[in-house]
C-alpha cells in the first residue's frame, strides 16, 4: 500500500485510555470512485473459523488502554490520526498470535512493547471457532480467547481460554496448533501486511525482493525448504548405507570364521602326548629360571655390603661438616651478640648526647634572647644620647654666639666627629653580625657539600652497576647466558675447556637459574626472591672439582662476590619427596612452579632451599590467610607472593626489588625498564651535581663576602680609634660653660658611660651567644657523629646477620646432607636385609620347585627354552584341544552358530540392497516432485499475472508483471494509486465473504459506499499534551490484515 507523509507529531505528556467509536458508515460518499465503483453481492456466508472477533490492549506500547474492539466478519477499517493506536493494534495482533518482535518492524525486543513505567503489558484476542472446521469445539466452544502478558524483562506468557473464560492451556505449542488449524500465518505478508513490508515491497527497486515476496506469499519458499531438507536427509541415509556396507564386510569375515570352525577336524592323541612332553619341560624350565634368578641376587648382596663402607664415610664426613658449620655459626652469633651489646652500650651515651644537645640549644636560645635585650637597651640609650646631644648643641649654639667663631668651629667639629663615630659604631656592629652569619653559612655549606659528595659517589656507582646489567641484558638477546652477568659466558667457556682436557671428574652444572624455566611467567620475581644467590650458583659432584672451579672463578671474578659452589654427589634421578613436600589444592610449591630437566639442579634446589616446602601464592592477602590465619599447610615452612614478599607463619618481609632480573620472559620490556631507570638516575645525578656546583658557588661567594667583611671591619675599627682620639683632643680645650650646659654634659657623659657599658654588655652577650652557639653546634656534631657510629654498627650488625643467615643455611645444608646420607645408609642396609630375606624365600621356593619337578619327571631334563614360551605353547595346545573337544563333543552348537552367522550376513546384505533401492526410488520421486514444484510455480506465476492483468483491465489500465524463475526476479511495471488499490481490495473482499479483511489507514474513508459488510473503527485523536510516542512514527500509516 502507498503511504502519505505527515510531519505533525502528537503533543502532550499525559497518557489516558482512549475508547474507540464503532459506527456504521452512513454518511460516506455513495457515488462511484475515480476508477470504478464497488458492488457487493451476497454470494457466500461469512467465515466460521479463524475470524478475529475482538482485541483489547493494556499498557501496550504508549497506550494505557485500547479496546476492546469488535471486528466484523468481512471488511473492517481502523482509521485515525497519527498516535491514535492503529500501529499498536496491528503490532498487538502479530505479537499476540505468536509473532516475533522483529516481524512487527516496531522493535527488536518484546520488552520494548511494555509501556514505560509499567511492569507488564496485556493483549487479549478472541478468535471465532464455529462450524465443522472448529478446533476442539468440545473444549473451547465457539470462541478461543488468546491472552498474552509481556513483562518488562521481555518474558512472554500465554493463556488459552474457552468462550466462557475457562483456562484450557498455557503452552505456546497449543497456540501453534490452533494457528496451523486455522491457517493463520502472522509472518506471511499475504495474511498481515505491515507498513514496513508494504513500503519495502512497493518502493523496493530490487526485483529479487519482489520475487522473494511472491515465494513467501505463495508458501513456495516453505515447499522449497522442505525439498532441501528431504535431499539432505537422503544424503545422510546414503552415508548410513555406506557405513552398513563396511559392517557387512565384518559380518562376512565372522561368517567365514564360523565356517572354518565348522570344517576343522583333528586328532587329539598326538596333541595329548605333545602336551605331556611340554609339561615335563615346563617343570624343569621353572627350576632353571629360578636358579638363574638366585645367582645375581647373591652377587648383588655381596656388592651392596661392600658399598656400605662408602655410605659410612659420607655420614662421618658430613658429621664433621655439621660440627664445623655449627662452630662457624656460633662464632658469627657471638660476633653479632658483641655488636648488639656495643649498640646497647652506645645507646645511653646517645641519649645523653641528645639531652646535651637539647640543653645547649636551650642555653643558646637564652643567650640569644639576652643579646637581643642588650641590643634593645643599647638602642634606647643611643636614642636618649641623640636627644641630649641635640639639646646640648642648641645650648652650645647660644654659647657659641657669645664665645666666638673658634668655639663654634670646635663644637661643630666635635659634633661632626660624634656623628661619624656613631655611624662607624653602628657599622661595626652590623659587620660583626654579617661575619657571624657568613661563617655559619660557609660551615653549613661545607658540611652539606661533604654529604652530597658521598651521595654522588654512591649514585655514580649505582648508575655504573645498572649500566653493566643493561649491557648484559642487551647482549642476552643473542646469548641468554649473558643475563647472568657479563663474565658468565667466559666462565662457562673456561669450564667447558677444562672439562674437555679432563680436569673435572664430572662437569659442573650451572648457573642454576639458567637450568630452570617457569611454568607461569608471573611468578618470576617470587622464584628469584626465594632462590636469591642460588640463581648464579654452580653444582659440583665432588670437592676436587669444587677446588678446580674455585681457581677458575678467581681468574674471572678477581674482586667482589663470586657465584656459590654447592658440592653434592650427582644423581641421575630426582629425590623422592612425596612424603616431605607441602600439599595445597590451590597453590603450587616453588618446585612445582618450575620446569627442571636436570635432576642435579632439582636435587640442589631441594637440598639448599627446600623448594618442595615453599608455596607460591600470587595474592598477598591469600598468602597471609594461608600462612598466618590458623595452621599453615602440612610440610610448608614459608611462602612467597607474586611481588616477591616472604611470608612466614609469624613474620612478613617485603621484597626490596620490583622486577625479576634473570627469569623475566619479556626481555625487551625489562630492557626498556632498565633504560628508563638509568636515564632517571642519570638525570637525578645531573641535577645532584648541578646542586653541588651551586653550593660550591655559594660557598665561594660567601667566603669572598666574609673576607670583604673582615677587611671592612678592620678599616672601621681603625677609623673609630682616630676619631675618638681627635674628639678627646678637642674636648680637652677649656671653654666657658653655661650653668645650664654643665648638668646636660654631665648627663651626656653618664649616658656615654652607660652606652659604653651597654655596648660592652652587648658584646659580651654576643660573645656568650656565639660561644653557646658553638657549644650547641659541637654538641650536635658529637650527637650526629655518635649516631653515625651507631648506624655504622647497625649496618655491620645487618651484614653479620646476613652472614649468620648464610651460616644457618650452611648448618641446615650440612644437617640435611648428613640426614640424607644417614637415610640413604639406612635405606641401603634395609635393602640388603630385604635382599637376604628375598634370597631365603627364593632358595626355599627353589627347593620346593625341584621336589615338584622330580615328582612330575624323575630325570632332570636340559631345557634351553624359556618357561614363558613353553607355557604359551601349552596354553595354545590346551586351547586347541579344548576347541577340538568342544567341536567334537557339541557339534550341534557349532552348526547352529554357523547357520546364525550365515543368516545374519544374508539379512544385513538384503537390508543394504533394499536401502539402496529405496534411495534410488527416492531420488526419482524427488526429481518428479521437483518437476511438479516447478510446474506449480509456473502455474501460480501465470495465475498471478492473470489476476494482475484482469484487475487492471477491468479499470481500463494496463500493466506488466514479468517472472524470471531462473534468476529469481519479479518486475512490475508501475504502482497504481491509493484509491484504485482500495477499490480493488474492496471488490476482492466482496467476492470472498468467508474471509476477514482489516485495513488500517489514516484516511477518513468517507467515500466508501454504505454496506452492512463494512465496519469502520474510528480511533480518538491522541492527547496532544504528549510530546513523543516510544514506537510511533511521524508518517501516516496503512496496513492490512487478511484472514
3-state SS, one letter per residue, for 811-877: HHHHHHHHHHHHHHHHHHHHHHHHHHHHHHHHHHHHHHHHHHHHHHCCCCCCCCCCHHHHHHHHHHH
Beta bridge partners of 63: 60
For cell 485495513, name the residue.
999
> Which residues are paired to 158 by β-bridges?
148
Cβ distance 34 to 1025 under 8 Å?
no
Q: Do 950 and 2 touch, CB atoms closer than 8 A?
A: no
Question: What would the mean pLDDT of 362-390 be, rounded to a whole number?
Answer: 79
**How many CB atoms neighbour CB 66 within 10 A?**
24
Query: Which cell goes with 469?
Result: 646489567
Mean pLDDT to the nearest integer, 12-17: 35
Distance in angstroms (rounded) separating the CA atoms of residues 889 and 265: 12
Q: What is the mean pLDDT of residues 384-393?
A: 77
Cis omega (within 30 of 0) for bond into 408: no
Mean pLDDT highest for which of 141-150, 401-410, 1001-1010? 141-150
Which pLDDT does position 1028 carry in this prediction?
42
Q: What distance in Å separates the CA atoms of residue 746 and residue 738, rounded to the nearest whole number?
A: 13
3-class DSSP state of 560: coil
Return the closest-CA partner of residue 608 out of 314, 816, 329, 818. Answer: 816
What pLDDT score was predicted for residue 475? 67
Is the per-residue pLDDT at 404 higher than 60?
A: no
The span from the CA of 822 to the CA of 818, in Å, is 6
Q: Which residue has the higher pLDDT, 42 or 932?
A: 932
Nearest to 3 by CA among 194, 191, 190: 194
Q: How many CB atoms lie within 10 A of CB 613?
A: 21
At residue 322, the pLDDT reads 85
**Which pairs count as long-range contacts for 465-471, CB under 8 Å and 24+ apart, including other chains?**
466/674, 466/677, 466/678, 466/681, 467/678, 469/661, 469/674, 470/671, 470/674, 470/675, 470/678
Q: Which of 279-293, 550-564, 728-742, 788-802 has the lowest mean pLDDT?
A: 728-742
DSSP annotation of 994? T
**Residue 1027 confidence class, pLDDT cut points 50, 70, 90:** very low
Looking at residue 735, its pLDDT comes to 52
Distance CA 758, CA 377 (A): 7
Least confident of 126-130, 164-168, 189-193, 701-705: 189-193
pLDDT at residue number 40: 38
Whether residue 1024 has pLDDT greater than 70: no
Q: What is the pLDDT of residue 144?
A: 93
**Could you say which DSSP state residue 46 is in?**
P
Where residue 25 falls among pLDDT bands split at 50, 70, 90? very low
pLDDT on residue 31: 35
What is the residue whose three cell numbers read 521437483?
A: 930
Mean per-residue pLDDT over the chain, rounded = 78
CA 182 to chain centre: 56
Q: What pLDDT does 540 receive?
A: 94
Residue 51 clears pLDDT 60, i.e. is over it: yes
Dist CA 186 CA 429 (whole Å): 111
pLDDT-above-70 percentage for the chain: 83
Residue 886 is predicted with a pLDDT of 64
Q: What band does 538 get if pLDDT is binned at 50, 70 and 90?
A: very high
Q: Using pLDDT thresholds of 50, 70 and 90, give the confidence band for residue 24.
A: very low
Does the CA dihedral 924-926-928-930 come out positive or negative? Answer: negative
Of 193, 100, 54, the residue nearest 1001 (C-alpha): 193
In angstroms, rounded to a whole number, what is the distance separating the alpha carbons of residues 470 and 462? 12
Query: Cα dist. 602→576, 598, 616, 638, 883 in Å?
Result: 11, 7, 17, 19, 58
Mean pLDDT of 910-931: 86
CA separation (Å) from 1010 to 38, 70, 634, 986? 11, 19, 97, 12
User: What is the DSSP secondary-structure string of 964-980?
Assistant: ETTTTEEEES----HHH
Per-residue confidence (pLDDT) for residue 408, from 0 to 100: 64
CA dist., res. 458 & res. 462, Å (int) = 6
pLDDT bucket at 991, cuts 50 / 70 / 90: low
pLDDT at 181 over 60: yes
Residue range 489-503: mean pLDDT, rounded? 91
CA angle (451, 454, 455) in 5-degree steps: 85
pLDDT in tens, 798-807: 777 777 777 8
If we measure between CA atoms, which residue out of 1021, 1017, 1007, 1019 comes closest to residue 37?
1007
Q: Tell me which residue has cell 681603625.
A: 718
In degrees and rounded to multiples of 5, residue 597 shows phi and psi of -80, -30
Averaged over 798-817, what is the pLDDT?
76
Cis peptide before 68 (omega within 30 of 0): yes
Rounded Cα gap, residues 705 and 711, in angstroms: 10
Residue 145 pairs in a beta bridge with 126, 161
Q: Are 20 and 1019 in contact, with CB atoms under 8 Å apart? A: yes
pLDDT tens digit sequence for 315-348: 888 888 888 888 888 888 788 778 777 777 777 7
Q: What is the CA radius of gyration of the chain?
A: 58
Sheet containing 1039-1042: give its strands across. 20-23, 1014-1019, 75-79, 997-1001, 1039-1042, 192-193
Task: Count other C-beta atoms under 10 Å from residue 398's C-beta.
Answer: 12
More confident residue, 361 or 994: 361
Model confidence pTM above 0.85 = no
pLDDT in tens, 971-981: 775 544 556 66
Lowest average pLDDT, out of 633-642, 736-745, 850-859, 917-926, goes to 736-745
How many CA atoms are closer than 13 Å to the CA of 664, on its beta-carbon side?
A: 20
For residues 554 and 679, what is the distance between their CA atoms, to the nearest angstrom?
33
* DSSP symbols for 999-1028: EEESS--TTSPP-TTEEEEEEPPPPTT---
Q: Which of 247-251, 511-515, 830-834 has the lowest mean pLDDT?
A: 247-251
Q: How do residues 84-128 score in pLDDT, each as one tens digit?
A: 888 888 888 888 888 887 777 777 788 888 888 888 999 999 999
Q: What is the pLDDT of residue 509?
A: 93
**Per-residue pLDDT tens over the stretch 760-776:** 888 888 888 888 888 87
Q: Is the dihedral of CA 481, 484, 489, 493 positive or negative?
A: negative
CA 365 distance to own-chain centroid: 62
Q: Indicate the pairing of strand 565-567 with strand 538-540.
A: parallel
27-44 pLDDT, tens digit each:
333 333 333 333 333 344
Higher pLDDT, 272 or 116: 116
Amino acid at each position: 500500500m502507498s503511504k502519505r507523509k505527515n510531519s505533525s507529531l502528537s503533543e502532550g505528556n499525559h497518557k489516558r485510555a482512549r475508547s474507540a467509536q464503532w459506527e456504521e458508515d452512513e454518511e460516506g460518499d455513495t457515488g462511484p470512485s475515480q476508477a470504478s465503483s464497488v458492488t457487493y453481492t451476497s454470494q457466500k456466508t461469512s467465515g466460521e473459523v479463524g475470524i478475529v472477533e475482538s482485541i483489547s490492549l493494556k499498557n501496550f506500547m504508549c497506550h494505557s488502554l485500547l479496546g476492546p474492539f469488535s471486528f466484523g466478519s468481512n471488511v473492517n477499517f481502523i482509521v485515525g490520526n497519527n498516535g491514535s493506536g492503529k500501529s499498536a493494534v496491528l503490532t498487538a495482533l502479530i505479537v499476540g498470535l505468536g509473532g516475533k518482535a522483529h516481524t512487527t518492524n516496531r522493535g527488536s525486543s518484546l520488552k520494548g512493547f511494555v509501556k514505560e513505567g509499567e511492569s507488564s503489558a496485556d493483549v487479549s484476542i478472541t478468535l471465532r471457532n464455529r462450524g465443522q472446521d472448529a478446533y476442539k469445539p468440545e473444549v473451547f466452544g465457539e470462541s478461543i480467547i488468546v491472552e498474552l502478558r509481556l513483562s518488562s524483562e521481555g518474558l512472554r506468557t500465554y493463556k488459552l481460554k474457552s468462550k466462557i473464560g475457562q483456562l484450557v492451556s498455557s503452552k505456546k505449542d497449543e497456540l501453534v496448533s490452533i494457528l496451523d488449524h486455522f491457517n493463520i500465518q502472522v509472518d506471511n505478508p499475504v495474511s498481515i501486511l505491515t507498513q514496513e513490508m508494504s513500503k519495502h515491497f512497493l518502493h523496493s527497486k530490487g526485483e529479487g525482493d519482489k520475487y522473494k515476496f511472491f515465494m513467501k506469499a505463495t508458501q513456495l519458499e516453505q515447499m522449497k525448504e522442505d525439498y532441501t531438507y528431504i535431499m539432505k536427509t537422503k544424503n545422510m541415509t546414503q552415508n548410513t548405507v555406506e557405513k552398513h556396507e563396511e559392517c557387512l564386510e565384518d559380518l562376512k569375515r565372522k561368517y567365514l570364521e564360523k565356517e572354518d570352525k565348522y570344517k576343522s577336524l583333528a586328532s587329539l592323541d598326538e596333541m595329548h602326548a605333545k602336551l605331556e612332553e611340554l609339561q615335563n619341560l615346563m617343570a624343569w624350565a621353572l627350576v632353571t629360571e629360578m636358579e638363574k634368578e638366585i645367582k645375581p641376587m647373591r652377587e648383588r648382596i655381596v656388592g651392596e655390603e661392600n658399598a656400605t663402607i662408602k655410605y659410612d664415610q659420607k655420614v662421618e664426613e658430613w658429621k664433621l661438616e655439621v660440627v664445623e658449620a655449627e662452630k662457624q655459626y656460633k662464632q658469627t652469633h657471638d660476633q653479632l651478640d658483641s655488636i648488639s651489646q656495643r649498640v646497647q652500650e652506645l645507646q645511653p651515651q646517645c641519649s645523653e648526647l641528645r639531652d646535651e644537645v637539647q640543653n645547649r640549644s636551650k642555653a643558646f636560645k637564652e643567650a640569644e634572647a639576652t643579646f637581643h635585650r642588650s641590643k634593645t637597651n643599647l638602642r634606647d640609650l643611643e636614642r636618649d644620647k641623640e636627644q641630649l646631644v641635640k639639646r646640648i648643641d642648641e645650648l652650645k649654639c647660644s654659647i657659641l654666639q657669645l664665645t666666638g667663631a673658634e668655639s663654634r668651629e670646635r663644637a661643630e667639629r666635635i659634633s661632626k666627629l660624634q656623628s661619624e663615630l656613631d655611624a662607624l659604631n653602628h657599622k661595626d656592629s652590623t659587620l660583626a653580625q654579617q661575619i657571624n652569619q657568613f661563617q655559619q653559612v660557609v660551615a653549613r655549606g661545607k658540611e652539606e657539600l661533604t654529604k652530597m659528595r658521598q651521595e654522588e659517589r654512591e649514585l655514580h656507582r649505582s648508575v655504573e652497576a645498572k649500566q653493566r646489567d643493561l649491557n648484559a641484558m642487551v647482549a642476552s638477546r643473542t646469548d641468554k647466558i649473558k643475563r647472568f652477568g657479563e663474565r658468565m659466558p667466559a666462565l662457562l667457556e673456561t669450564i667447558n675447556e677444562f672439562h674437555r682436557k679432563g680436569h673435572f671428574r664430572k662437569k659442573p652444572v650451572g648457573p642454576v637459574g639458567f637450568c630452570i624455566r617457569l611454568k607461569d611467567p608471573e611468578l618470576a620475581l617470587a622464584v628469584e626472591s626465594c632462590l636469591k644467590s642460588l640463581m648464579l650458583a654452580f653444582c659440583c659432584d665432588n670437592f676436587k672439582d669444587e677446588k678446580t672451579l674455585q681457581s677458575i672463578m678467581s681468574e674471572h671474578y678477581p674482586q667482589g662476590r663470586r657465584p656459590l659452589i654447592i658440592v653434592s654427589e650427582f644423581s641421575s634421578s630426582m629425590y623422592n619427596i612425596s612424603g616431605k613436600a607441602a600439599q595445597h589444592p590451590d597453590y603450587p610449591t616453588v618446585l612445582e612452579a618450575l620446569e627442571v630437566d636436570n635432576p642435579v639442579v632439582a636435587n640442589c634446589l631441594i637440598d639448599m632451599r627446600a623448594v618442595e616446602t615453599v608455596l607460591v601464592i600470587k595474592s598477598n592477602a591469600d598468602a597471609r590467610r594461608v600462612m598466618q590465619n590458623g595452621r599453615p599447610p602440612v610440610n610448608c615452612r614459608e611462602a612467597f607472593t607474586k611481588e616477591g614478599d616472604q611470608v612466614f607463619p609469624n613474620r612478613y618481609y617485603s621484597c626490596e626489588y620490583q622486577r625479576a632480573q634473570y627469569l623475566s620472559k619479556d626481555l625487551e620490556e625489562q630492557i626498556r625498564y632498565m633504560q628508563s631507570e638509568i636515564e632517571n638516575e642519570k638525570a637525578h645525578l645531573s641535577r645532584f651535581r648541578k646542586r653541588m656546583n651551586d653550593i660550591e658557588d655559594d660557598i665561594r661567594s660567601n667566603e669572598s663576602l666574609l673576607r670583604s667583611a673582615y677587611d671592612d671591619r678592620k678599616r672601621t675599627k681603625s677609623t673609630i680609634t682616630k676619631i675618638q682620639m681627635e674628639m678627646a683632643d678637642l674636648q680637652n680645650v677649656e671653654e666657658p660653660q653655661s650653668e645650664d650646659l654643665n648638668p646636660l654634659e654631665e648627663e651626656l657623659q653618664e649616658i656615654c658611660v652607660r652606652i659604653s657599658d651597654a655596648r660592652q654588655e652587648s658584646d659580651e652577650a654576643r660573645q656568650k651567644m656565639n660561644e653557646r652557639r658553638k657549644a650547641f653546634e659541637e654538641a650536635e656534631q658529637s650527637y650526629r657523629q655518635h649516631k653515625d657510629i651507631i648506624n655504622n654498627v647497625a649496618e655491620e650488625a645487618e651484614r653479620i646477620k646476613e652472614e649468620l643467615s648464610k651460616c644457618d643455611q650452611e648448618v641446615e645444608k650440612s644437617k640435611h646432607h648428613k640426614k640424607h646420607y644417614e637415610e640413604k645408609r639406612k635405606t641401603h642396609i634395609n635393602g640388603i636385609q630385604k635382599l637376604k630375606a628375598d634370597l631365603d624365600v627364593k632358595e626355599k621356593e627353589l627347593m620346593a620347585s625341584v621336589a615338584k619337578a622330580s615328582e612330575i619327571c624323575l630325570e632332570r631334563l636340559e631345557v634351553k627354552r624359556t618357561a614363558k614360551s613353553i607355557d604359551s605353547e601349552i596354553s595354545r595346545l590346551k586351547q586347541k584341544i579344548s576347541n577340538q573337544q568342544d567341536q567334537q563333543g557339541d557339534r550341534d552348537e557349532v552348526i547352529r552358530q554357523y547357520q546364525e552367522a550365515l543368516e545374519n550376513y544374508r539379512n544385513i546384505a538384503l537390508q543394504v540392497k533394499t536401502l539402496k533401492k529405496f534411495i534410488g526410488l527416492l531420488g526419482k520421486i524427488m526429481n518428479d516432485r521437483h518437476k511438479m514444484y516447478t510446474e506449480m510455480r509456473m502455474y501460480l506465476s501465470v495465475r498471478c499475472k492473470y489476476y494482475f492483468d484482469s484487475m487492471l483491465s477491468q479499470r481500463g489500465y494496463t500493466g506488466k508483471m514479468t517472472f524470471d524463475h531462473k534468476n529469481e526476479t519479479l518486475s512490475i511495471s508501475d504502482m497504481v494509486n491509493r484509491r484504485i488499490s482500495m477499490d480493488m481490495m474492496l471488490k476482492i473482499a466482496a467476492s470472498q465473504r468467508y474471509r476477514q479483511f482489516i485495513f488500517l489507514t489514516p484516511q477518513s474513508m468517507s467515500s466508501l459506499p454504505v454496506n452492512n459488510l463494512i465496519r469502520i473503527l474510528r480511533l480518538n485523536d491522541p492527547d496532544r499534551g504528549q510530546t513523543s510516542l516510544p514506537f510511533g512514527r511521524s508518517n501516516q500509516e496503512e496496513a492490512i490484515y487478511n484472514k
